[in-house]
Structure 1
Amino acid sequence: MTETPKRGRPRTFDRAAALTAATRLFWERGYEGVSIGELTEAMGIRSGSLYAAFGDKRSLFEEVVDAYGRSPVGAFAAVALREEPTAYGAFARILREAAAIYPDPAHPAGCLAISAATNVTPQDAGVRLFLRDLRNSNVDAFEARLRQAQQAGELPPEADPRALADHFAITLQGFSQRAQDGATAPQLAAAAELALTAWPAARP
């Protein structure tokens, strides 16, 4: 009798390292600017491994965005909203940290969730909508924190929490683009202080 040949063990790879490589590529080039071949080369895996481990390109991208949103460079706004005792303190911290994080040369400039799917083909419109909904949920979180501040007397009754939430969201999106265009941390920090002057009440 002859022994049945043993099947080779599947190739293993560092999933976290592969995800980090994919994150950098999507962050640098955007969703549309990255091919499967470029992803597998950067991640150090074959296309079969990519599909087996992450699904298709869109599934990989969504996992990248989720991981980015839980990382220090992606979660700083949520952390500030949670940790700061006042709304003004939270938004001041958000803008000042964005001014430092977005142009940091340790990673691609700007915010991945803001810039990664600005231009996509019609068949990939779902990716753009995915990021749009994520960004809109962040604005909703801003508004909720500002409404709490209004109820606590930190904002005057005539203040418009939604308009103020939009103001800070628009500022952050502008910071992301300016960082990609070469704006420095000091430049963005100065802009952050100007943006904070829109606060409609005496600052704590």
Structure 2
Amino acid sequence: MASSHLPGLAIVIMGVSGAGKSTVAESLANTLGFSFIEADDIHPPENKVKMSKGIPLSDIDRIPWLEALRDAIREKIIHGDNVTLSCSALQKKYREILRAADSDYKPAVYTNCRVKFVCLEAAVDVIAGRMMRRSMEGKHFMPASLLQSQLDLLQIDDAEGITKVDATMSIEAIVDYIVALVKGRWICMQ
């Protein structure tokens, strides 16, 4: 699918750490010909240090990071480019910051927003196992000890229309499912 058919669409792959956001978002970007933004790359070093010590981020830590992500998405949308973003986006107020990347977004009018969310979900023990493996392999700064704080923050309002996907499916199956959404639902709004 040529990205020229979908000008200025952002797909945020969200969920708790260990759900597979980065892998899915990057694979989706490659499949659709979108660009890809890894939210962890935008975190300031002090946020990464804090999390690596097992200290959850506060809104004071998160808001500037989310605003930087919003600005990066806005640049893509303004230029008619399509992008995938891996970002926890655990609370509605955080997603509202990201939705503001679409200058036409009207709060609580989710269907017309050019920033779409897909939440990867799996059982707590599955996510914890993934996080422990990554941590032991030195592949990520987020320790499994922070999983509960992320689960405590996660809130999804059904009115937002966030698509939920089983994160235990294969990457290919998840990507195929999201591609079908893009072609079937989200392309209609363009």
TM-score between the two structures when normalised by the length of structure 1: 0.31
Q: Which has the higher strand share?
A: 2
TM-score between the two structures when normalised by the length of structure 2: 0.33
Q: Could you say which structure has the greater relative contact order, defined with CA pairs below 8 angstroms and 6 or more residues apart? A: 2
Q: Which has the higher helix share?
A: 1
